[in-house]
Amino acid sequence: SYELTQPPSVSVSPGQTATITCSGDKLGDKYASWYKQKPGQSPVLVIYQDKKRPSGIPERFSGSNSGNTATLTISGTQAMDEADYYCQAWDSSVLFGGGTKLTVL
Amino acid sequence: QVQLQESGPGLVKPSETLSLACTVSRGSISNYHWNWIRQPPGKGLEWIANIHYSGSTNYNPSLKSRVTISVDTSKSQFSLKLSSVTAADTAVYYCARSSDGSGSFVWFDPWGQGTLVTVSS
């Protein structure tokens, strides 16, 4: 069965660029979406169709998808970006990655 | 901005049926697909099913045999029933909107606040 694999954790210093990856077989042939979830809150869509930002999402959030890897990039990372991030795609059903905890320290 | 609100019992006994409703406000239930997604405590997200306002449905194959999803457009509500629950079904259950029901054009925005359902005797 198809799986999306994310690193469990990523750390970044404030102001630096955070990169979170999501891997799956030929994922680049599918559309990937990304969600941000803070503790005790609902997930929020931050990227859809690989690289589109919903209204209200800061420009520092960007996405790409090629080959077997989709990538969420957060430029000029801020303390408020600390959260869990989930990738999502479709392969016969909706699939989510296991999530990546982003720590800003 | 459309808002979604889950409602239902927070405690369900093992082997019984979990029943939840999601009310859509500040927007129309028409022309979209409506989803249920769950998250066990401390774990990741799992999509359960979706329904179009017309009644067409899509299910997670791993849960399909136990899931019933329905829509009541007159109440701007859609509902989830999950039968024969066990402790493994303990989770926060979210409802969410998507523009498509299947395929590459499925993403979720917005989400409800979620409701914790515990399966325990």
- Rounded Cα gap, residues B16 and B119, in angstroms: 9
By the 8 A CB rule, do B1 and B97 touch?
no
List the single residue in B44, B103, B112 with the smallest CB-CB distance to A90.
Answer: B103
pLDDT at B29: 92
CB environment A16-53: b (16+ within 10 A), e (fewer): eebebbbbbeebbebbbbbbbbeeeebbbbbbbebbeb
Mean pLDDT estimate for chain B? 96
What confidence tier does B80 reach under pLDDT thresholds 50, 70, 90?
A: very high
> Once rounded to an integer, what is the mean pLDDT over residues B102-112?
93
Residue B31 pLDDT greater than 90, yes or no: no
pLDDT at B99: 86
Q: Do A42 and B105 touch (CB under 8 A)?
A: no
- Rounded Cα gap, residues B91 and B42, in angstroms: 9
Return the closest-CA partner of residue A14 out of A80, A59, A71.
Answer: A80
Residue A81 pLDDT greater than 90, yes or no: yes
Residue A9 pLDDT greater than 90, yes or no: yes
Q: Do B105 and A31 touch (CB under 8 A)?
A: yes
Return the closest-CA partner of residue A21 out of A57, A81, A78, A74.
Answer: A74
pLDDT at A3: 96
> Once rounded to an integer, what is the mean pLDDT over residues A13-23?
98
Length of chain A, in residues? 105
**Which chain A residue has the Cα nearest residue B59?**
A93
- Rounded Cα gap, residues B93 and B110, in angstroms: 14
| Amino acid (1-letter code) at residue B105 | F
Q: Three-state DSSP class for B63?
A: coil
Q: How many CB atoms lie within 10 A of CB A97?
A: 26
More confident residue, B104 or B7: B7
Q: Who's near B10: CB < 8 A, 6+ residues apart?
A: B115, B116, B117, B118
Q: Chain B partners of A95 at a C-beta cutoff of 8 Å?
A: 47
Inform me whether the C-beta atom of residue A66 falls under 8 Å from chain B C-beta atoms: no
Alpha helices (H) in A1-102, listed in sequence order? none
Give B12→chain A minimum CA distance, Å.
22
Q: Read off the pLDDT of residues B54-70 as tens digits, 9 standing for 90 and up.
A: 999 999 999 999 999 99
Give B49→chain A minimum CA distance, Å.
9
